[in-house]
Amino acid sequence: VRIVLISPNAAERTALAELLRAEGHDVIATARRQEGLLATIDECPDVIIADAQVADLDGLALVEEVSRHCARPRMILLSSRTRRSLRKSGVICVPKPIDLAVLQRHMQPLPQQRLA
């Protein structure tokens, strides 16, 4: 899975990038939203994993921005708060501290994508 990881928290970003790479994913990790956006436009990743601290209030704005340039990627928001309101928007919210198994589960292709 091609992943763009955007997190201003160095401890979170570096460790998570390494752990995901060890699982066989392609990961571009950036600290800032603008760099992440440029990387996303270049790479057209399958998944964006963004810390809630960078992705505006809910990550939706970032997804909309990315969607103008390439196929809509799956958006996973890492948040210290429960954000039930995001469920309907398609943004997946993974609570901190992150359970890696849960994160991996959210990165699996959806059933229709598997069929395609």
Number of residues that bind other proteins (CB under 8 A): 21
Q: Whole-number minimum distance, CB 68 to other proteins, in Å?
A: 30
Give the separation between CA 16 and CA 42, rounded to whole angstroms. 21
Give the separation between CA 57 and CA 111, rounded to whole angstroms. 29
Best CA proximity match to 73, nearest among 101, 112, 41, 103: 41
Binds other proteins by CB under 8 A, chosen from 5, 6, 16, 29: 16
Binds other proteins by CB under 8 A, chosen from 69, 96, 105, 106: 96
Q: Whole-number minimum distance, CB 41 to other proteins, in Å?
A: 27
Give the separation between CA 93 and CA 57, rounded to whole angstroms. 12
Binding positions for other proteins, rule: CB under 8 A: 9-12, 14-16, 18-19, 22, 53, 78, 80-82, 84, 95-98, 100
